[in-house]
Structure 1
Amino acid sequence: MKLSTTLTLSALLLAGVSTQALAQQQTVTVMAYSGLFQERYTKAVVEPFMKANPGIKIEYFPMPNSAQMLGTLRAQKAAPQVDVVIMDVSVSKAATDEKLLTKIDEKVSKNVADLYPNARIADADGVAVTFDNLVMLYNGEQVPTAPTSWLDMAKPEFKGKVAIPGMPDIQGLSLVLILDKARGGTDYLKNVDAGIAGMGEIAPNVQTWEPKPEVYPVIISGQAVIGAGWNARAQVNADASGGKLKAVLPKEGSVFQINTINYVANGPGKDAGAKFIDYALSPEAQKAFTESMFYAPTNAKAQISEAAIARTAVKSMDKVIPVDWIALAKVREPIMEQWRRKVIPLSR
């Protein structure tokens, strides 16, 4: 009887402790990219963070692109449901201007002090959490000779076989900027007529501007055979496809893409959100994600293996076209309007 009573009391005490722990647990909602990014980021960053911080639960809210993330933040402005968002820097600038974010500085994360200079963006509240660059993708089985130019996508043999994530996705915008430079454009902040004309040449061959679930499996399956995508995802998909998916950097070069991590103003998770941001910017988390998915790190103290760093955007620095994404954010809508009027109709 005494043993039974002791066990019952112990069980009740344990239940009480468990209930109390659950009551004290904080939840942080992180809105970031869906698909492969979600899978790898969860394993490399989210799960280790929760293991080290058992009192904080991370709920990952996946979205396909930054434009939709911004729409969600706007819709929730009066009562935010998200604490942290990972999005493109130009969209982060728009969110900053609309006072949807809280500035990330050394008070929010001590790791901000160790970020590369171009990871700290003067006119945006977020800071860079990954670097990447645009590459040309192709199916090595159906395209035996590696393409060398972005405009190879306009060749007759690729009629109906091109897949490009079009605007408002930043991949479409990036391709406009690359082609504008290649065609003699001198100031993308004033006009991108040359880039729009270049896209107009490719457009008749485009099968889809909205590859689903994303461009990589579409090209691996042979549904399309050539297109554009991000280097980091291309590297992972190339491995997973047994080399069927291939990625090249065309002669016209590429652009550097910056994903920022952002602290949502008045998010429900409060200080727990800042704790996650601090971890995401740490050398430990940066190393883990770079070696998992080949995004270049933004923390200068992250010690990345040579094998991994060789597959990141760092390898292409000499072919990167400089872009002021913050200044570009101000003219993004006019470029989008040109895209609607002069590019999309040519693909119908």
Structure 2
Amino acid sequence: MKTSAKFYIAGLSALMVSTALAQAETITINSFGGAYEEAHRECIITPFEKKTGASVQVVTAYSADAFAQLRAQKEAPQFDVIHFSGGQEIVAAQEGLLSPIDASKLSNAGDVYDFAKANLAKGEGPAYSIAAIGLVYNSQTADPKPTSWKDLLSEAYSDHIVLTDISNGYGMLGFLMLNQVSGGDLDNIQPGLDAIKTLLDNGAIVVSTSPEIQQEFAQNDAWIAAYASDYAYTLRKAGLPVAFVQGQEGTPASFITTNLVAGRPNQDLALQFIDMSISPEAQACFAEKLRYSPTNSKVELSDEVAADVAYGEEGVKGLIRFDPVKIEANRAAWVDAWNRTIAR
């Protein structure tokens, strides 16, 4: 073999090794944009890069879009870790798009509440944050202060109630909880629809987006809305006298999960990222920044932050996760029934 050929082969081999190492030291994830992505970087991404020396490439993609991309890229996925907030990990795991997780490879798994890691072996990643749905209320004007989901039906609040359209994910969970306390379940939403009709007859209004809720509280004398703890914090930061309470009958929850994508070469690094996501430090940071509820039992929060989230053994006992797969299967029919109910 000629010397030049030897150098060529040696150089090519070195390049291949270098490229492989570069790939192994980079993971690609999705995040949800805006304030969430800013917190994601501060609480997890940047600390992970500093700790491991790896790089994290972030693709802004909400749950439904990220899931669609994962499905479309089944043979050659771009994501190493994928995040969902709508239960997409259940279907993705069933379709073999996610890898099972060995809990022994996650140093923080032992401290995570059981409900947040129940199906790791099936491929459903752990929940690292929870959006808790309860009653967002004006702490100065709501009298008496609400404590129950049934309080929404109280005449004391009548025309001061804001309802959120069920095309909004938080709105859907709030409606399903109202349906449950009214005697319905996921096989029968008519009690909830009847309750909505009564509320509208008493003067409640329906909005579709978070900014509309803020407008109602700021300008139109809204007292109570069934919505998420993180948005109560957003309203308070905007200068509004708003507080959050979990209804005594239970707290609908949107699980934000971190999942290991199947068919990727650097799963060990991806698992380190997932492990950091469920660490007490990362979760305390998310609670502080956005008021998401932690799933790690070792998280320590100030009284101020703890008041806004489902916190500790007692706080998480009331969390309710309505079956995301059943919601998705019935969504179109439920939205149609909802639209007919609210048509005035």
Same fold (TM over 0.5): yes
Question: CA contact under 8 A between 1:103 and 1:125: conserved in structure 2?
Answer: yes
Q: Does 1:194 align with 2:194?
A: no
Q: Which residue of structure 1 lines up, in the alignment, with residue 305 of structure 2?
A: 308
Question: CA contact under 8 A between 2:45 and 2:56: conserved in structure 1?
Answer: no
Q: TM-score, normalised by structure 2?
A: 0.74
Question: CA contact under 8 A between 1:29 and 1:269: conserved in structure 2?
Answer: no
Question: CA contact under 8 A between 1:219 and 1:245: conserved in structure 2?
Answer: no
For residues 179 and 70 of structure 2, the distance between their equivalents in structure 1, rounded to whole angstroms, comes to: 32
User: For residues 72-125 of structure 1, what are the alpha-carbon distances to aligned partners after superposition, in whole Å with 9 as ceiling and x for unaligned?
Assistant: 332333332222222236332122222221122325423223222222123652
The worse-fitting range, judged by mean Cα deviation, of 128-137 and 238-247 is 238-247
* Corresponding residue pairs, total: 316
Q: Which residue of structure 1 lines up, in the alignment, with residue 262 of structure 2?
A: 265
For residues 266 and 201 of structure 1, the distance between their equivalents in structure 2, rounded to whole angstroms, comes to: 51
For residues 52 and 328 of structure 2, the distance between their equivalents in structure 1, rounded to whole angstroms, comes to: 41
2:129 maps to amino acid: T
Q: Which residue of structure 1 lines up, in the alignment, with residue 296 of structure 2?
A: 299
User: In the superposition, relative to structure 1, how do residues 155 and 146 fare at CA in structure 2: closer, same or farther (>3 Å)?
Assistant: closer
Question: CA contact under 8 A between 1:28 and 1:82: conserved in structure 2?
Answer: yes
For residues 224 and 80 of structure 1, the distance between their equivalents in structure 2, rounded to whole angstroms, comes to: 49
User: For residues 186-224 of structure 1, what are the alpha-carbon distances to aligned partners after superposition, in whole Å with 9 as ceiling and x for unaligned?
Assistant: xx2543332233344457854433x16x56655565489
Select 1:335's aligned residue among 326, 330, 333. Answer: 330
Q: Which residue of structure 1 lines up, in the alignment, with residue 22 of structure 2?
A: 24
Question: CA contact under 8 A between 2:134 and 2:174: conserved in structure 1?
Answer: no
1:38 maps to amino acid: E
Deviation at 1:277, TM superposition (A): 0.9
1:278 maps to amino acid: D
Q: TM-score, normalised by structure 1?
A: 0.74
For residues 262 and 156 of structure 2, the distance between their equivalents in structure 1, rounded to whole angstroms, comes to: 45
For residues 246 and 207 of structure 1, the distance between their equivalents in structure 2, rounded to whole angstroms, comes to: 20
User: For residues 277-330 of structure 1, what are the alpha-carbon distances to aligned partners after superposition, in whole Å with 9 as ceiling and x for unaligned?
Assistant: 1211223222322333332322223344444333321289579756454xx234
SS at match of 1:172: helix
Q: Which residue of structure 1 lines up, in the alignment, with residue 54 of structure 2?
A: 55
Question: CA contact under 8 A between 1:162 and 1:224: conserved in structure 2?
Answer: no
SS at match of 2:311: helix
Q: Which residue of structure 1 lines up, in the alignment, with residue 6 of structure 2?
A: none
Deviation at 1:129, TM superposition (A): 0.7
Question: CA contact under 8 A between 1:132 and 1:232: conserved in structure 2?
Answer: yes
User: % of aligned pairs identical?
Assistant: 25
Task: Map 1:5-24 to 2 at 5 A.
Answer: 24=22
1:198 maps to amino acid: A
Q: Does 1:94 align with 2:91?
A: yes
Task: Map 1:1-348 to 2 at 5 A.
Answer: 24=22, 26-63=25-62, 66-88=63-85, 90-122=87-119, 125-138=124-137, 145=143, 148=146, 149-151=151-153, 157=159, 162=162, 164=164, 166-167=166-167, 169-185=168-184, 188-202=185-199, 206-209=205-208, 211=209, 217-219=214-216, 222=219, 225=222, 227-235=225-233, 237-250=234-247, 253-267=250-264, 270-314=267-311, 317=314, 323=320, 325=322, 328-348=323-343
User: In the superposition, relative to structure 1, how do residues 193 and 340 fare at CA in structure 2: closer, same or farther (>3 Å)?
Assistant: same
